[in-house]
Structure formats: C-alpha cells, structure tokens
Amino acid sequence: MEPAIILVRPQMGENIGAAARAMLNFGLTDMRLVAPRDGWPNPKAIAMASGAAGKVLDQARVYPTLAEAMADIDYAYATTARGRELTKPVMTPAQAMGDARERTATGGRVAVIFGPERAGLENDDVARANAIITVPVNPDFPSLNLAQAVLLTGYEWSRDMLPAQPAPHGRRPDGEVPATRIEIEKLADHWEERLDDAGFFFPSEKAPAMKLTLRNLWSRLPLTKADTRIFHGMLRQLVRRD
C-alpha cells in the first residue's frame, strides 16, 4: 500500500497543486491536508494540478489536526531540514522509503509528513512521527519547496518499480529508428556504384578488397533511417555538382 502524503497547514493553493502533480508522477494518490490556510477546495490548487493530477485533489481528505490525519497510520516520517532536540531515527529519502516499502510489505500503513512552506513542521508535529527524513543538500541552502520535497519522496518510493528506461512518447522519429538491412544494402550499393564511376576502386586488382572493406564499414555503423537518407542525399549532391 502506498504512503499517505500529509501536508500540514499548507499555505498556498499553488503549492498543494504542484505537490499533487509530484505525487501522481510516481503513482501516489493519498493526499491528506491538515488545516490548509486558505480553506478547501482551493481553485489555485486545481489550476496548478493541471489535468490528470486533479484526481489527487478530488480525493484529498482534510483534517483539523495532524493527530486525526494520522489515525490509521502505523509509522510516520516527518520531513525537516532543521536539527531537532527530539531523539528519533534520521534517514535520507532513499533510506526512509526503503524502510517504508518493508513496512508496507507486511501490511503496515505509513505516511510522510510535510510542513508549511514558510517555516516547516513544528516540534509538536515532528513529535508525532516515528522518524525524520532529511535530504542531504547544500548546507548553505538546505531549503526545498513543498513540491520538490514531495517529488523526492515519491521518486525514492517508486524507483524500484520504475522502468529502466524512459517510456517512448508516441511514434519514434526516424532519427531514432534503426535502418533495416535492406536500407543499408541499398545505401552500400549506391555508394559503391558512384565510387566505381568516379574511378575510386584503383588499381583494378585491389577493387574487390576495397569494395569488401567499404561494405563491411556500412554494416558496422549504427545507422538510423534518417542517416541513410542523409548519406543518399549527400552522394546525389556531390554527383550533381560534378
């Protein structure tokens, strides 16, 4: 079961919408809002969520207190960049989400708690969590905005489930599609014919070996369909200029 993302006293609707987008990027949909400053629903959040991520906002639940938002949670991680006097395990996002996967695999319910934009979580909020998440960033500028923090958490949660390579979008352009064997053969034939006409294969007794070397060269190149068209066009232009 996925982690619940709890936003405590979020201040700007735009940031809530951006957080919803970050969640859906990595398949997270359980958003919980604790006392949002500008009330709920928020038109600015809806506008920022932009399309599909609106469904995260549609099913977001609003609570008056953090304790109520955590009522069904077995283990919670509080995100904070500041040192705390509270004694708790401190983890990176990767460590925390690895721990979360282990807990959810045995039926546990986990949550990640994010504080308001201006000052982050208060000690009373952090005290309700079981562990702290701190992102190892530049110590001279440790602040992340709300959506960035949610995005990092979402990525670390889902990265073992993500595809090894980005998914292609729609039809691949010819510049990315490998040339077929026939296309490479026709290209090799075209160049061999024109080079023969130009007297390139000289002396005649060396011509077979030179043609073999050239044919082998074409087959070694990782040509795309677009590459073959360029090479054909280059040769036609050269012949035309002669």
| Residue ranges of domains in the chain, CATH in brackets | 4-161 (3.40.1280.10), 174-241 (1.10.8)
List the one residue out of 170, 94, 100, 156 whose CA is nearest residue 130.
100
Distance CA 236, CA 232 (A): 6
Q: What is the pLDDT of residue 33?
A: 97
Q: Is the pLDDT reported for residue 118 higher than 70?
A: yes
Q: What is the pLDDT of residues 38-96, one digit of tens each?
A: 999 888 998 898 777 888 999 999 999 999 999 999 999 999 876 567 788 999 999 99
Q: Which residue has the higher pLDDT, 138 or 35?
A: 35
Q: Which residue has the higher pLDDT, 141 or 90?
A: 90
DSSP one-letter string for 29-46: --EEEES-TT-SS-HHHH
Q: What is the pLDDT of residue 161?
A: 75
Highest mean pLDDT (candidates 110-114, 157-161, 179-183, 193-197)? 110-114
Q: What is the pLDDT of residue 156?
A: 95
Q: What is the pLDDT of residue 235?
A: 87
**β-strand pairing of 75-79 with 31-34:** unpaired
Q: What is the pLDDT of residue 74?
A: 96
Q: What is the pLDDT of residue 49?
A: 86
pLDDT (mean) for 24-50:
91
Q: What is the pLDDT of residues 142-161, one digit of tens each?
A: 778 899 999 999 999 998 77
Q: What is the pLDDT of residue 170?
A: 55
Q: Is the pLDDT reported for residue 22 higher than 90?
A: yes
Token code pair at residue 238: 């050269």
pLDDT (mean) for 170-196:
82
Mean pLDDT of the chain: 88
Q: Can you point out the beta strands (E) in the chain?
A: 4-8, 31-34, 61-63, 75-79, 90-91, 110-114, 131-133
Q: What is the pLDDT of residue 109?
A: 96
Percent of the residues in the chain that have a pLDDT greater than 70, as a whole number: 92
Q: Is the pLDDT reported for residue 167 higher than 60?
A: no
Q: Is the pLDDT reported for residue 169 higher than 60?
A: no
pLDDT (mean) for 129-135:
92
Q: What is the pLDDT of residue 129?
A: 94
Q: Which residue has the higher pLDDT, 206 or 165?
A: 206
**β-strand pairing of 131-133 with 90-91:** parallel
DSSP one-letter string for 65-109: SHHHHTTT-SEEEEE-SS--SS---EE-HHHHHHHHHHHHHTT--
